[in-house]
Amino acid sequence: MNAGTRAFFSRHPLFASAVLMVAAVAAVETAGGFWPWGLLPLVVGPLLAGWRLGGVCAVAGVIAAAGLQARHDAREDASERAVALAPDRAFEFKMVTDARQGARIWTGRARVVNAVEADEFLIGRDVRLLGAGSELPVAGSRVLAGGNFLPARVARNPGNFDEASWLRREALTGVFLARGDRIEVRTTRFAKWRAGVRSGFRTAITAGLDDDSQAAMVIRAVVMGEHPRDSDRLIDAFRHSGTMHVFCVSGLHVGMVGLLGWAVLGLAGVPRRWAVAAIIPLMFGYTWLTGSGAPAVRASCMAAVFLGAFVLQRRPDALNALGAVMSLMLLWDGRILFQPGVQLSYGVVLAIITGAALASRIFAWIGREDEHIPRDEYGPVRRASLWLRRRTAQSFAVSTAATAGSTPLTAYHFGLITPASVPATVVQVPIVFSMLGIALFSALVHPAAPWLSRGMNQVNAVLTEACVGVARGFAAAPGGHLRLEGGGPELIVYDLPYGAGAAVFFDGNGAATLIDCGSARSFHTHVLGSLRRRGIHPDSVILTHPDGGHLGGGAPVWESLGTRQALLPVASARSPAYRSWLEEAPAAGVRTGFATTGNRFDLGGDAWIEVIRDPSHVSPRARADDRVMTLRLHWRGWKFLFTSDAGLGTERELLDSGVDLSADVIIAGKPRHETHLDDDFLDAVQPLVIVATNADFPPEQRLDPARVDYWRSIGIQVIDQGASGAAMITPGGDGALRIRGYVDGAEIILDPAGR
């Protein structure tokens, strides 16, 4: 390693230590074991920073790597033993975070402090605690609960939440489901006081506003980091404009609080050293008020290290401050490194430290002085203009550096690139700074002058309109955001709970069509996340029948996907979600139409779909499963028959009609009230493969194993989604068709020569 590199690390020894720790921890995690990768720092350290400094840093790196492996081993052992415990074991927990209420249950992070009816190996370990039907526990509450540990849920669809990996990253031993009749919550006075302070702060910053209004939701999101429910469209505006960091409490907000404190203390004439000493607890106090979110805690710690140099009358070093916080984090628990939020936080900070100076040269022209007028002759207007232009240039430089640092990570983790983030952030930061300052002032005066607090909140409500407008404007700008497209053409048949159904066809060139959308819940938790992660953006939707498990809840689909057109099966139905497709979708700009037998629709990529049966002749009072639109997809010489939830009645009707039913693959749901895919129907179709839904609950959605065995016995290959999860269907370059189970990896390859 050259002398310049060694000199650089000798000036920033804590940063050198952090670099070696990151390398060692990443190597151990990637390789799946400590040996020999955990010893990597011993080789790299002396080369990087010389024998003395490099040796010390190398030892720290090895310790971090060994600690990571030890934590992995201990956690995995504890997790296996916890799941193996007999049900209805009782534990006493201490809440680490406030529990958050969901649709049916509350959830929060809790630490086991006593094993009432179980072995003590779990004491001191953190778990995800789920409960219902009791007082909502807050941080510090003691919860005595009986229940059982649940196995970590496996991601059954591509791009879905992998609970096992998440538990590992978050250092959680497992998930404990408490029975509603066996939960006792005990909250101390101090815990109640802390919860009351936070609740009072939350109330004060939105006093005078409708609690469910957009203004209140945005204020709580910007000031407290609350994510409003059922607001995908609002959140997408900030995500697509690259300003999601202003929509949640992050390091940006902590820095703004520090600047506000600096300004106030400066006006009060407080000396710099004492002002800095006061700002540090101010930032930590704000972090605590907003729920001690990980990004805010990290930012507060780094700011404390950096500003502490002023208090100790030492020259601050941003790289050393960053290295110190990262080193402590990795020594404490290296698993934190693999959280996307951690990578983004430190990646952006590193990019700003190393790149802002370079970026400032690009925008220096904005803040240049007039060469023909001496500075002493500037008037008030010219001075103000120069100050504003220099601040703007600085904002552009910092925003550019931050974007450069975050883009690779957001592309990797979220499949999104946001060129608009540079100008959008420059515009948003002053708005958010003002909102934060007004909210803090409102909370301060609320106990003594609630009328003044309400007035300030009305001003903030106006600023929220500007904040949302800026986000939506930049998100909608041409080229403002780019989603990374899926790799190649594919058909994904999703595996959804409770018998819900959805599939997506992607032609490999940007065109995609969603065939059914799942239920309202499964669309949000399974389908939408998968589409976003894989970079698939369907603007067309085909609904096979008016069943709630296939409609995605209606509005959430077109609001989240930007749906432009929808093909519907019938003109009326009792389902509220289906009526929203009939009545609300056109008003939202979605072109809707009704299919008739024989219609053909181009899907792109040499694929087209035909309607084999439209259910318009079936009575609106009939069951939804009797009003199924049967479809056949033609794709690169292969044919796929979508029977959805059709039962024997629909199959008999199709057979009696004499229509050609031949297909290579049947994609079948499970009708609730009758059987399906009988011998006569299979004889007419002559399928090579059946992809069959199989849900554990409710019982009528379970696929009879004997039926699967029978299909296989007559030469039909079966993808049982109860075992395989999603079915991933891709064409091969030689004309073959590959069908793979996402969970079990079971694979079927169809050769065109063998048909």
Q: Which residues of the chain have pLDDT under 50?
A: none
Quote the CA–CA distance of 173 and 76 in Å, as a whole number. Answer: 8
CATH of the domain at 650: 3.60.15.10
Q: 173: buried, middle or exposed (CB in 10 Å: 19+, 13-18, 0-12)?
A: buried
Structure confidence at residue 654 (pLDDT): 93
Structure confidence at residue 314 (pLDDT): 65
Q: Per residue in 525-544, is it b (16+ CB within 10 Å) or e — as a string? A: bbbbbbbbbbbbbbbbbbbb
Q: 503: buried, middle or exposed (CB in 10 Å: 19+, 13-18, 0-12)?
A: buried
Cβ contact 509:604 at 8 Å: yes
Same domain for 179 and 204?
Answer: no
Cβ contact 474:420 at 8 Å: yes
Provide the residue range defining the domain that includes 273. Answer: 198-350+418-482
Structure confidence at residue 442 (pLDDT): 94
Q: 625: buried, middle or exposed (CB in 10 Å: 19+, 13-18, 0-12)?
A: buried
Q: Tell me which residue has tokens 């296989």.
A: 712
3-state secondary structure of 23: helix
Quote the CA–CA distance of 726 and 494 in Å, as a whole number. Answer: 5
Cβ contact 249:225 at 8 Å: yes
Structure confidence at residue 242 (pLDDT): 86
Cis peptide before 698, with omega less than 30 degrees from 0? yes
Same domain for 175 and 260?
Answer: no
> What percent of the residues of the chain are helix, what percent strand, and what percent coil, each to the nearest 5?
50, 15, 30
Number of domains present in the structure of the chain:
5
Q: What is the DSSP letter of 130?
A: E
Q: Which two tokens stand for residue 190?
A: 């101090």
Residue 192: inside a domain: no
pLDDT in tens, 277-299: 888 888 888 888 887 777 778 77
Last residue of a domain, one of 79, 111, 141: 79
Residue 436: inside a domain: yes
Same domain for 114 and 213?
Answer: no
Residue 537: inside a domain: yes
Quote the CA–CA distance of 26 and 334 in Å, as a whole number. Answer: 9
Residue 361: inside a domain: yes
Q: What is the DSSP letter of 480?
A: S
Same domain for 461 and 497?
Answer: no
Same domain for 687 and 719?
Answer: yes
Last residue of a domain, one of 482, 505, 534: 482
Residue 64: inside a domain: yes
CATH of the domain at 145: 2.40.50
Residue 399: inside a domain: yes
Strands 175-186 and 142-150 come out as: antiparallel
Same domain for 56 and 142?
Answer: no
Structure confidence at residue 709 (pLDDT): 92
Sign of CA dihedral 278, 279, 285, 286: positive
Residue 259: inside a domain: yes
Residue 193: inside a domain: no
Structure confidence at residue 311 (pLDDT): 64
Same domain for 519 and 552?
Answer: yes
Same domain for 38 and 158?
Answer: no
Q: Residue 69 is which amino acid? A: Q
Q: Residue 58 is which amino acid? A: A
95 DSSP β-pair partners: 110
Best CA proximity match to 99, nearest among 64, 69, 70, 134: 134
Best CA proximity match to 493, nearest among 675, 677, 669: 669
Quote the CA–CA distance of 417 and 440 in Å, as a whole number. Answer: 33
Same domain for 226 and 244?
Answer: yes
Q: Tell me which residue has tokens 């929203």.
A: 580
Quote the CA–CA distance of 85 and 618 in Å, as a whole number. Answer: 52
Q: 166: buried, middle or exposed (CB in 10 Å: 19+, 13-18, 0-12)?
A: middle
Same domain for 245 and 378?
Answer: no
Structure confidence at residue 310 (pLDDT): 65
Same domain for 9 and 112?
Answer: no
Same domain for 139 and 210?
Answer: no
Last residue of a domain, one of 417, 437, 453: 417
Quote the CA–CA distance of 311 and 300 in Å, as a whole number. Answer: 16
| 251-267 and 272-289 helices, crossing angle to 10° | 140
